[in-house]
Amino acid sequence: MRITKRLLSFFLVLSVSFSCIGCEPSKTNASTEKPIVLGFSQLGDESTWRSQNSLSIINAAQEAGIKIMFDDAMQNPENQIKAIRSFIAYKVDVIAFSPLVETGWDTVLGEAKAAGIPVIIVDRMIDTEDDSLYTCALCSDFDLEGRRAGEFLMKKFRNTDGPVRIVELSGTEDSTPAIGRYEGFRSVLSSDPKFEVIFSASGDFMRSKGRELMQQILTHYEAEKIDVLYSHNDDMTFGAIEVMLEAGIIPGKDIVIISVDATQRIIDYLREGSVNCVIECNPNSGPQVMEIAKRIVAGEKVAKQIYIEEQVFDEYSDLSSIADRGY
Ligand code: GZL
């Protein structure tokens, strides 16, 4: 039975005491006759992307015959640490988690290592000196995503002298996507001084905060003095576009918009010209996570770092070739 969005929200409500989808304590961690038990700590449910990522994880576990204990940390890393400790106590075969922020994981991952439980890092990365604390990291290349956003602007404004004034809605502070999208973007644009980031603040990947920041921006800057909005995710972009429309600003025309994720709604905006460039960040990592978990439990060697394939859709692309996103 595939989990639907409606059922996911039910599981997420229950997840305070784990959504243990049909699992029983695993008495051995290498037994071939018993299904693998995987403990998954999800960082929250802050965005359309995150909901799809959780659906992908849960459905892939079911399709792989893996019993999953799924916990939604509701944007609190302390909840993730508690969940990981519960997985250790439950003696799961594998732990996987998407760390809200990069720091603060060494102690609890040291406890998982001492318990002999392998760890897969999913989506975002951790900042540690000790890479023995995890077996595999399956992430997006966030610096590449940022560079791709910068490369679009270099092309879009190749025939203008500037200045090109940019406002940036960044993601959760100290999170790998926010760091990579921030740094990668600037690494490309720093080659041309006409590009100037006049405002940058974190909207925590949330639509409501994207709205608030865009309102704040428009009280400090005349719309005519803003050339580009660079938003680290679609949900913040949706909030910003609502505010633009309320202010009589034509998104994609008066202000060029670059957004990251590539949900269906932003692709629709791209097709109608309300957004100019969409950098894909792929949430559908579930099948790869389960494949990695199976190989680890079977004692096979897996790569330490695996990057998820992603692409760019922009106003120069063949937009008719973009398949339905499904989220
Ligand atoms: C990126 C992921 C980010 C998305 C946001 O891999 O961590 O978090 O870009 C989500 O939409 O909230």
**Residue range 189-247, pLDDT digits in tens:** 999 999 999 999 999 999 999 999 999 999 999 999 999 999 999 999 999 999 999 99
Reported pTM: 0.92
pLDDT in tens, 144-199: 999 999 999 999 999 999 999 999 999 999 999 999 999 999 999 999 999 999 99
Examine the domain organization and report whether 221 and 273 are in the same domain: yes
Give the atom of ligand 1 at the shortest distance from the alpha carbon of 140.
6
**CATH classification of the domain holding 62:** 3.40.50.2300
Six token digits for residue 230: 């660079």
CA 231, CA 223: separation in Å to the nearest integer?
17
Q: Is 51 in the pocket of ligand 1 (CB under 6 A)?
A: no
Examine the domain organization and report whether 20 and 109 are in the same domain: yes
Examine the domain organization and report whether 97 and 224 are in the same domain: no
Confidence of residue 33 (pLDDT cuts 50, 70, 90): confident
Examine the domain organization and report whether 177 and 267 are in the same domain: yes
Examine the domain organization and report whether 131 and 174 are in the same domain: no
25 is a domain residue:
yes
321 is a domain residue:
no
315 is a domain residue:
no
For a substitution probing ligand 1, which of 138, 208, 281, 285 has the most ligand atoms within 8 Å of its CB? 281
324 is a domain residue:
no
327 is a domain residue:
no
Examine the domain organization and report whether 77 and 164 are in the same domain: no
Examine the domain organization and report whether 127 and 203 are in the same domain: no
Six token digits for residue 198: 């006049």
CA-nearest residue, atom 6 of ligand 1: 123
CA 285, CA 57: separation in Å to the nearest integer?
7
Contact 11, 58 (CB under 8 A): yes
- CB 286: neighbour CB atoms within 10 A? 24
Residue 22 has pLDDT above 80, yes or no: no
Tell how far CA 294 is from the center of its chain. 23
186 is a domain residue:
yes
Examine the domain organization and report whether 105 and 235 are in the same domain: no
Range of the domain at 256: 142-281
Q: Is 150 in the pocket of ligand 1 (CB under 6 A)?
A: no
Q: Is 202 in the pocket of ligand 1 (CB under 6 A)?
A: no
Residue 26 has pLDDT above 80, yes or no: no
Of 265, 281, 297, at which residue does a domain stop? 281
Give the atom of ligand 1 at the shortest distance from the alpha carbon of 47.
12
Q: How many domains does the chain have?
A: 2
